A and B are shown apart, each in its own frame.
Chain A
């Protein structure tokens, strides 16, 4: 899967489309949504009464994870987030994302190029998402010409000051929760998840509705220890992009004060054939223009 650098560049100039198709990588566009990374592993099926149900829950969760974070082999999208605090004050961030999957439901590489507001313009955030270990993260600060390695950190901290956590953007590791299928109707599965390590998160459980047709989670509500709803993710708009149902607009609300962040996408593209080597320090200083248009 590694591509010779010079090779890639020459080909790109000629025809990016062809190359794109020849790679198996996946891109992410969808990741804007919160991470209902529901996933199961064998160990947490013990409390489930029957194997058939178990299998179903796991399938749903895997499919939801795929639909939310691993659509296509790779992807690009323009995104903006609008942060609205409890007093109605707004802040905005605009950025372009490039994503490529190393493996479906596995590791991913991601680049986030900020364009607005002016105080974050040309800042670049780079992540290597690793399921078996801490993510690798870097930040490029253009004013200092500095590429700073940043520690993996708490994944449930705010992504650029928004109500979205890092985990909402890049996906919560499915192995961190136990899942139960609570109910299903014509359109949705309703699944409850409990974190295996209560101390690692600010909620004690969450309930997610997953659309039966496209397996996109459409609503997630997080509850605290006293079973009060504290945080809610709602999908506001889904659009079909190249046959892939894609969340174009979603919102996370802090239910304690009704402050919220809305995340919106446009110009979503899948299966571009992003070369592996653009997910590098080089791209942080010199953004790969050909893939950002």
Chain B
């Protein structure tokens, strides 16, 4: 290695001879991950994460289309089973100059929040998020048809998901949660049954840019992504009530940083007046954020988020446990600090949620070390705290965990 300086030219010249580009590209990684609860928890296993995963990405590029497949196979020791998961299996093409289509299994994202979602109702994987898997796993795939239409500075995106895809929410299989029915923290060994609809969901966004400011208008027609309803007639069976929403966002550079503001109105149309205790009320969701690089390689971002329950009084009057309801205005503050060192190979990050209204929070510290082009080592924790065991983050106190991951990329 000491001859690097002198012999640099050898391989540099070799690079000039380009190999013939292949339309096929194979990449992927192998990863081992382990996480453990930091206190006793009512779940079956003391490990929050214990898996060995192999990822295969296979891409094919044709003159008229792109095909992409991303397959995860892993042995999950927490669930004691081998799981195959297709994260992507899609074809993309531009049939006309003004439209791009992507069809198949894919991950979808939009909106301006950081770990907070206002208009993005695409499927998320909260189990992955809570367990310390890589950030990409926070977004769950769905079988969808996305069309992107372009006219001058205007972009219209329409996503059709023929069969509603919910979040991978907390079920008790891996993490415990508070059951309002049982009035305690539970972790049912067999995930509670949820009646899942097979109807379609639609998401739309109209986006444009005026000078440096990006504006978007959003619409959604579908269902709550988590089972926010329960049926009286079928023994409290949980289900996904219908949800429609619309919203707006703006994002712009401001004083050397980026400011974003986003709003959405959630209309829980099976409970428009909010007097059905078994179905979540509609909400106003508002997000304001600002990100700024405070020093070289050191970035801070803050968000204020408000979840205001519609028809709160009606809900309160019809609730079986009014004292445990979330406040009409649920305030949430987040702070992300990240610092990159050693030529950006070492990334320290801490993300904190704190709700002054719920008096609870969630801290996510992590360290990522890219040892070389192949090896990525990561460690971190998910720490929940709160005064009440029924609040949003408070119910997860016993789920607090620390984790390690080692990934080899090829």
Contacts and interface: CB of A to CB of B under 8 A. Distances in A.
A119 B376 contact: yes
Given A264-B12, A267-B18, A285 B148 contact: yes
B150 interface: yes
A151 B372 contact: no
Interface residues of B, number: 60
B1 interface: yes
B8 interface: yes
A106 interface: no
Given A119-B376, A149-B214, A151-B258, A156 B296 contact: yes
A144 B253 contact: no
Interface string A160-178: 1111000000000000000
B321 interface: no
B15 A266 contact: yes
B109 A144 contact: yes
Given A118-B28, A149-B251, A267-B18, A143 B136 contact: yes
Interface stretch (B100-108, B185-193, B226-234, B272-280): B100-108
Max count, chain A CB within 10 A of own CB: residue among B97, B293, B345: B97
A282 B107 contact: no
Interface string B322-351: 000000000000000000000111000000
Given A88-B2, A151-B253, A281 B155 contact: yes
B60 interface: no
A92 B373 contact: yes
Interface centre among B28, B135, B150, B374 (most CB of A within 10 A): B150
Nearest to A141: B136
Interface stretch (A5-13, A48-56, A187-195): A5-13
B150 A282 contact: yes
Given A118-B28, A144-B136, A161-B344, A88 B4 contact: yes
Given A266-B18, A267-B18, A144 B107 contact: yes
A249 B245 CA distance: 53
Contact of B100 (A85, A157, A285): A285
Contacts of B8: 82, 251, 262
Interface of B: 1-2, 4-5, 8-9, 12, 15-16, 18, 25, 27-29, 57, 61, 63, 92, 94, 96-98, 100, 106-109, 135-136, 138-139, 148, 150-152, 155, 212, 214, 251, 253, 256-258, 291-293, 295-297, 299, 343-345, 370, 372-374, 376, 409-410
Given A118-B27, A134-B253, 20 more contacts: A2-B152, A8-B97, A83-B343, A88-B1, A92-B373, A118-B29, A119-B29, A134-B256, A136-B253, A144-B136, A145-B106, A145-B107, A158-B297, A262-B8, A264-B12, A264-B15, A266-B16, A282-B100, A282-B148, A289-B61
18 contacts: A5-B150, A9-B97, A9-B98, A78-B18, A88-B1, A91-B373, A118-B409, A118-B410, A119-B376, A136-B253, A143-B135, A151-B258, A151-B293, A151-B299, A152-B256, A153-B256, A161-B345, A267-B18
